[in-house]
Amino acid sequence: KANRKFHTDDTIVEVLGKKIGGGHFAVMAGPCSVESEPQILEVAESVMQSGATFLRGGAFKPRTSPYAFQGLEKYGIDFLLECKKKYGIPIVTEIMGISDIPLFEDVDIIQVGARNMQNFRLLKELGKLKQPILLKRGLANTIEELLMSAEYIMSGGNENVILCERGIRTFETYTRNTFDVSAIPMLKRLSHLPVIADPSHAAGLDWMVEPLAKAAIAAGADGLMIEVHNDPPHALSDGKQSLTPTRFSEVMKSLKAYMQLE
Ligand code: PEP
Ligand code: MN
């Protein structure tokens, strides 16, 4: 179902009037973690003003250490919904388990993180939902495996899948992951699904987000996911790769020449 051979036109995913794919570009921006209601409201307002089309924020966080901040869970989703109500911006947030599905009823795009890309039972359940699914490439997964995971969701009846290249594990340690820019044209050739890039998790470094975002656009990406935090040094997760709202606004200005935002 994800194969371009049987579906030559680009799939356009549409949420609350915002389109992704088929020439429509989306920017999903916001903090790694939703940390409090004022924090997410502040970031939401600033990223919207800079031109972001979606607000991202993690409520359920897949952390390496069980002692690290795990997310505000249900409250995190409630605070994102507050932002949606106040500013009308659609929201994207990550799901980690099947039992949490009821909490995601009003979430506009449900994210499957890299660590759950091959959680096949979760993918099958998401296939029964109506909301678009943002499927991130696993840390050590091939392009073929990413497409097969999309197939799990689509075969259940939910054909609104957005693919995301977010960097993969290699021997390199200067960056958090290695941004596989070649995955973008390859995925666009093999599949009709929209493909976005996440330069924040690829680089792991705030100053590298802008050049990688430009590379992604040049390679044909349909959108970007960028982490933005009101106070990166004190972020509860991924501060090193997070842009301040001011920096995000500058990056958006410099990207404007390359992208046609909805
Ligand atoms: C995230 O988007 O904050 C995240 C955890 O991303 P990934 O699954 O790509 O590591
Ligand atoms: Mn993150």
Question: What are 217-227's pLDDT values in tens digits?
Answer: 999 999 999 99
Question: Mean per-residue pLDDT for 69-87?
Answer: 98
For residues 43 and 175, give the distance between their C-alpha atoms in angstroms, rounded to a whole number: 26
Lowest mean pLDDT among 56-60, 74-78, 95-99, 256-260: 256-260
Cα 160–Cα 212–Cα 214 angle in degrees, nearest 5: 80
| Residue 166 in contact with ligand 1 by CB distance below 6 A | yes
For residues 129 and 98, give the distance between their C-alpha atoms in angstroms, rounded to a whole number: 12
Q: Which atom of ligand 1 is nearest to the CA of 137?
A: 9
Reported residue count of the chain is: 262
Q: Which atom of ligand 1 is nearest to the CA of 115?
A: 8
Q: Which atom of ligand 1 is nearest to the CA of 225?
A: 2
Q: Which residues are registered as beta bridge partners of 102?
A: none
- Report the chain's C-alpha Rg in angstroms: 17
pLDDT per residue as tens digits for the range 169-196 = 999 999 999 999 999 999 999 999 999 9
pLDDT per residue as tens digits for the range 20-43 = 999 999 999 999 999 999 999 999
Look at residue 262 and tell me whether its pLDDT is greater than 70. Answer: no
Tell me whether residue 53 is in a domain: yes
Q: Residue 257's pLDDT is what?
A: 84
Q: Residue 186's pLDDT is what?
A: 98
Q: How far is the CA of 40 from the centre of ligand 2 (A)?
A: 15
pLDDT per residue as tens digits for the range 157-176 = 999 999 999 999 999 999 99
Strand, helix or coil for residue 162: strand
Q: Which atom of ligand 1 is nearest to the CA of 198?
A: 9
Name the residue of 69, 80, 96, 136 to mutate for ligand 1: max ligand atoms within 8 A of Cβ.
Answer: 136
Q: For the domain that residue 198 is a member of, what is the CATH number?
A: 3.20.20.70
Q: Return the structure tokens found at 14.
A: 């549409």
Q: How far is the CA of 217 from the centre of ligand 1 (A)?
A: 20
Look at residue 56 and tell me whether its pLDDT is greater than 70. Answer: yes
pLDDT per residue as tens digits for the range 236-252 = 999 999 999 999 999 99
Question: Mean per-residue pLDDT for 198-215?
Answer: 98
For residues 91 and 84, give the distance between their C-alpha atoms in angstroms, rounded to a whole number: 7
Q: Return the structure tokens found at 137.
A: 């490439």
Tell me whether residue 47 is in a domain: yes
| Residue 19 in contact with ligand 1 by CB distance below 6 A | no
Q: Which domain holds residue 9?
A: 4-255
Atom 3 (ligand 1): residue with closest C-alpha?
32
How many domains are there within the chain? 1
Single pTM value for the model: 0.97
For residues 226 and 238, give the distance between their C-alpha atoms in angstroms, rounded to a whole number: 11
Q: How far is the CA of 8 from the centre of ligand 2 (A)?
A: 33
Q: Return the structure tokens found at 69.
A: 């901040």
Tell me whether residue 262 is in a domain: no
Tell me whether residue 142 is in a domain: yes
Q: How many CB atoms neighbour CB 169 within 10 A? A: 13
Q: How far is the CA of 12 from the centre of ligand 1 (A)?
A: 23
Tell me whether residue 133 is in a domain: yes
Q: Residue 259's pLDDT is what?
A: 79
Tell me whether residue 261 is in a domain: no
Q: How many CB atoms neighbour CB 236 within 10 A? A: 21
Q: Residue 237's pLDDT is what?
A: 98
From 30, 31, 37, 34, select the one nearest 89 (Cα to Cα).
30
Question: Mean per-residue pLDDT for 94-111?
Answer: 98
Residue 235 Cα distances to 77, 255, 256, angstroms: 18, 25, 27
With a CB cutoff of 8 Å and minimum separation 6, the contacts of 38 are none
Q: How far is the CA of 74 from the centre of ligand 1 (A)?
A: 18
Tell me whether residue 180 is in a domain: yes
Tell me whether residue 199 is in a domain: yes
Q: Return the structure tokens found at 212.
A: 């990688």
Look at residue 216 and tell me whether its pLDDT is greater than 90. Answer: yes
Q: How far is the CA of 6 from the centre of ligand 1 (A)?
A: 31
Between the two ends of the chain, the Cα-to-Cα distance in Å is 26
